[in-house]
Structure 1
Amino acid sequence: MSSAALQIIALVTMLIDHIGYRLFPGVEPLRIIGRISFPLFAFMLVEGFIHTKGRWRYLGRLTLFAAISEIPYKIFSRGGRWWLHIWGEPLWNNVFFELMLIFIAVWSIQAALEKNKLFFVLTGLCLVLAGLMGTMYGVYGILMGICFYIFRKDRLLAAACLIALTILYCLQNWSLFQIWAILAAVPIWFYNGKRGPRLPKYFGYIFYPAHLLVICAIHGLIA
């Protein structure tokens, strides 16, 4: 299974999840399917980190689209009067902020192992910020990305780490809702390390805020 296939699975399952959240809130299977998306995004982010020749540009894109996507995400999650919730909630809830912190955490681990151990402080800071800032998946999401990097040469261990982290997360939150994320271990296990058909440039970045706004528009028409 190529990286393009994993990206498509991640995008489609995210779309299904968000359709369920906003348009069919009572249809739980749609939300269950959506649990698969984030682990795949985190896994492919780590793969992108490993293979990219322009890490600063990569980080810049993540930061830019995190900023661009926040208002569409607020509109999606809170509805028409989203601005009423700005001061009472974190301003960095969309998934790009989580992915940005994963990228920095993984980069700092590599720098600590290759240059100076002090870079581990930056890794710890990413974990602290994820918890304090209330990012989408918090510390759980950052640890997932770190595990994917540590076990990048062993997909079985990467999948096992995903399962273990997800179980711990569910136990900590006394909820089994996120347990379905372990299904993402299957495509990760079958990942062949190949790129596959090239998707349009920046498609995944643009798709995220765009699909949130489209779903909100549909919701507004049928509400």
Structure 2
Amino acid sequence: MHGTETMPVGRVRDGALDLLKWLALLSMVLDHLRYVGLSLDGLYVPGRLAFPWFCLAIAANLHRVKNTAVTGQWRYLGWLLLFSVISEVPYRLFIEDADTLNVLPTLALGLLVARGWQQKAVVDRGLALIALALAAVFSTHLMFGFFGVLLPLAMMLVFRRPWYFSLLPGLVCVAANQWQVLLSSGSLVAMLGLATCLIAPLAGLVLLRRGKSVSPPAMRRWAYALYPAHFLLLLLIRQITT
């Protein structure tokens, strides 16, 4: 894995990126299976891959569209914001004691921060500063908090660098995952969860750089609907099994 390797650009499908998104979705579903009423606490560990891999997908998409029309990038943000609203009710129905918003607002703010770093336009820098301010003020209301908003930027900063730079987003990922609580727990699941957070960025980068030959189904805009839909499906499973 060398720092000179780059991602495909333009409209060419990147099979490795699609695979990363599918695996992130699978990890998220596995994580949420812990809430269907069964004893599946161990799924917390693979579940730690989901958020950093979605953040890495944001970084990869920003690299792919860096020199394309900005309308596509605003559309990307618009879909995130739209499904942030759509997903909140299914999320609250399934996670009954939720004390944060669903994950999409965190990803939307993270997208703004990462794009503000990438682009020199005043509007992009201004929106990034606003996103940072919102993340700081409302950190306790955001899933993965302030550090979760920083994770897409951390991923983008190491995107084309040697593998050992992945330690930076790994540490940011640990900080976003309530590391104090996990350390205090001291359980095997908690320790494995911390380790997974630390190595998730590296694992995702390896997949993107070495998985060029894979051709999974393309994950297009319809995939946004899978986020609220999976909450409703798991809610139905819980009602059937309990």
- TM (norm. structure 2) is 0.75
Partner of 1:109 in structure 2? 117
Q: Indicate the SS of the match to 1:190.
A: helix
Q: Indicate the SS of the match to 2:182.
A: coil
1:163–1:44 distance in 2 versus 1, CA, 3 Å: same
Partner of 1:74 in structure 2? 92
- Residue by residue over 1:49-80, the C-alpha shift from the partner in whole angstroms, topping out at 9 and shown as x without a partner, is 2223411111111111111111111111118x
Count of aligned residue pairs for this structure pair: 209
Identity of paired residues, percent? 25
Partner of 1:57 in structure 2? 75
Q: Indicate the SS of the match to 2:208.
A: coil
Displacement of 1:201 in angstroms is 2.6
1:12 aligns with 2:26: yes
Partner of 1:159 in structure 2? 166
Structure 1 counterpart of 2:154, from 147, 155, 169: 147
In structure 2, how many angstroms separate the alpha carbons of the residues matched to 1:200 and 1:40?
14
Displacement of 1:198 in angstroms is 4.2
Matched-pair contact (CA < 8 Å) for 1:159–1:189: no
* Structure 1: tracts of 5 or more residues without a match: 80-84
What letter is aligned with 1:35? R
1:170–1:218 distance in 2 versus 1, CA, 3 Å: closer
- Residue by residue over 1:68-110, the C-alpha shift from the partner in whole angstroms, topping out at 9 and shown as x without a partner, is 111111111118xxxxx8xxx55xx111111100111112122
Partner of 1:82 in structure 2? none
* Structure 2: tracts of 5 or more residues without a match: 1-14, 184-189
Partner of 1:201 in structure 2? 220
What letter is aligned with 1:221? I
Displacement of 1:22 in angstroms is 2.9
Partner of 2:239 in structure 1? 220
Displacement of 1:155 in angstroms is 5.5
1:120–1:74 distance in 2 versus 1, CA, 3 Å: same
1:30 aligns with 2:43: yes
1:21 aligns with 2:40: no
What letter is aligned with 2:21? Q
- TM (norm. structure 1) is 0.81
1:123 aligns with 2:128: yes
Partner of 2:206 in structure 1? 189
In structure 2, how many angstroms separate the alpha carbons of the residues matched to 1:16 and 1:214?
13
Partner of 2:9 in structure 1? none
1:124–1:7 distance in 2 versus 1, CA, 3 Å: same
Displacement of 1:207 in angstroms is 1.0
What letter is aligned with 1:103? L
What letter is aligned with 1:123? A
In structure 2, how many angstroms separate the alpha carbons of the residues matched to 1:128 and 1:220?
40
What letter is aligned with 2:27? T
